Amino acid sequence: MLEPTLNYVMCPDADGGHRMAYWQWGDALAPHVVVCAHGLTRQGRDFDTLARALCNRQEHAVRVVCPDVVGRGRSDWLKNPMGYQIPAYAADMLVLLAQLRPTTLDWLGTSMGGVIGMILCGQPGLALPVPVRRLVLNDVGPVMQWQALQRIGEYLGQTGQFASLQEAADALWATSSSFGPHTPAQWLALSAPMVRPLPQQPGCLTLNYDPGIAVPIRSVTAESVAQGEAALWQLYDNIRAETLLLRGAESDLLSGETARAMTARGPRARLVQFEGVGHAPTLIADDQVQAVASFLLHK
């Protein structure tokens, strides 16, 4: 079975820099690069199924790159948790893209990863190696429902302690059932990279992210979210990449009203909705994989 290679890129910060890990799939020399950026508490192995599907399309040589955003997965943790901010994540991605040197660049972002994508695509003059050609926004847009952010905040930073992978997977399902139907095997595979051994406690596992990522989120209010909408809409309206918007039909983060507005302004995204799914589609189900593959690999 096709497997990725683990790579690192050094990124600057005010405390001397940090390493960001990224998983690379497919032909390491392929000039067509698809970057897949994950959600708030997740990591780059979320995209294993999609990456394999894209790389197995023999008619199209592609490199799929799935970073672990700093503080998650195999990436370093920051010394100052206030550094866990979206603009800083976007700056790290610019460093990564400079190292990858694509000649054709596509971006897929789930939730937080989609906001990073809007920043990269919506600011003319950024030091991208090439403009983003096609953009996939997975269940995210300029307006994020406050109730959903509150729901996520209830478990954010609580990395837990588990006696087994199955116990951790069950706990993850309790906060992530909105991802939609998964077989037990699919959910266990999706959960495995989400845990790490708990130091000084042999046999125990904990979630694989820095609890400090919750620190900046605690200062977010309904008012600050509302104030940020205008800036996000401006970024969205500046996007020139061909854009596909994916939405879980039961999403509590991306409303149907916002999704429809996104089809009528800016890049006029093409909207695909998945029934029986909330926030956010995991891009494992065949119809979800096919929607992305046909969009990204169609010439």
pLDDT digits (tens, 9 = 90+) for 219-269: 888 898 888 999 999 999 999 999 999 999 999 999 999 999 999 999 999
- Residue in 52, 53, 46, 51 with CA at minimum distance from that of residue 280: 46
How far apart are the C-alpha atoms of 88 and 119, rounded to whole Å? 11
pLDDT of res. 230? 94
Q: What is the DSSP string of 178-193?
A: GG----HHHHHHHHGG
CA distance 210 to 71: 5
Please state whether the predicted TM-score (pTM) of the whole model is above 0.75.
yes
**What mean pLDDT do residues 199-204 have?**
87
In whole angstroms, what is the distance from residue 141 CA to residue 137 CA?
A: 7
Distance CA 67, CA 123 (A): 21
Average pLDDT over residues 3-12: 97
The pLDDT value given to residue 251: 97
Range of weakest confidence among 37-41, 221-225, 288-292: 221-225
- pLDDT above 70 covers a percentage of the chain that reads 99
Tell me how far apart the alpha carbons of residues 263 and 277 are, in angstroms, rounded to a whole number.
Answer: 20
Q: How many CB atoms lie within 10 A of CB 94?
A: 15
SS3 201: coil
> What are the structural domains of the chain?
5-145+222-297 (3.40.50.1820)
pLDDT of residue 58 exceeding 70: no
Q: Using only the alpha carbons of the chain, give its radius of gyration.
A: 18
pLDDT of 59 > 80? The answer is no
> What's the number of CA atoms in the CB half-sphere (13 Å) around residue 78?
24
pLDDT band at 60 (very low <50, low <70, confident <90, very high): confident
Alpha-carbon gap, residue 65 to 77, rounded angstroms? 20
Nearest Cα neighbor of 112 from 216, 240, 8 is 216
| pLDDT of 43 above 90 | yes
How confident is the model at residue 265, as a pLDDT? 97
Residue with structure tokens 């854009």? 243
Q: How far is Cα 34 from Cα 39, in angstroms, rounded to an integer?
A: 16
Q: Mean pLDDT across the chain, nearest whole number?
A: 95
Q: What percent of the chain has pLDDT over 90?
A: 88
pLDDT at 242: 98
Q: Tens digits of per-residue pLDDT, 112-162?
A: 999 999 999 999 889 999 999 999 999 999 999 989 999 998 889 999 999
Please give the sequence-ordered ranges of beta strands (E in DSSP) within the chain, or none if there are none: 5-11, 18-26, 32-37, 63-67, 104-110, 132-138, 195-197, 205-207, 242-248, 270-274
Average pLDDT, stretch 29-54?
Answer: 97
Q: Give the pLDDT confidence of 168-196 residue by residue, as tens digits.
A: 999 999 999 999 999 999 999 999 999 99
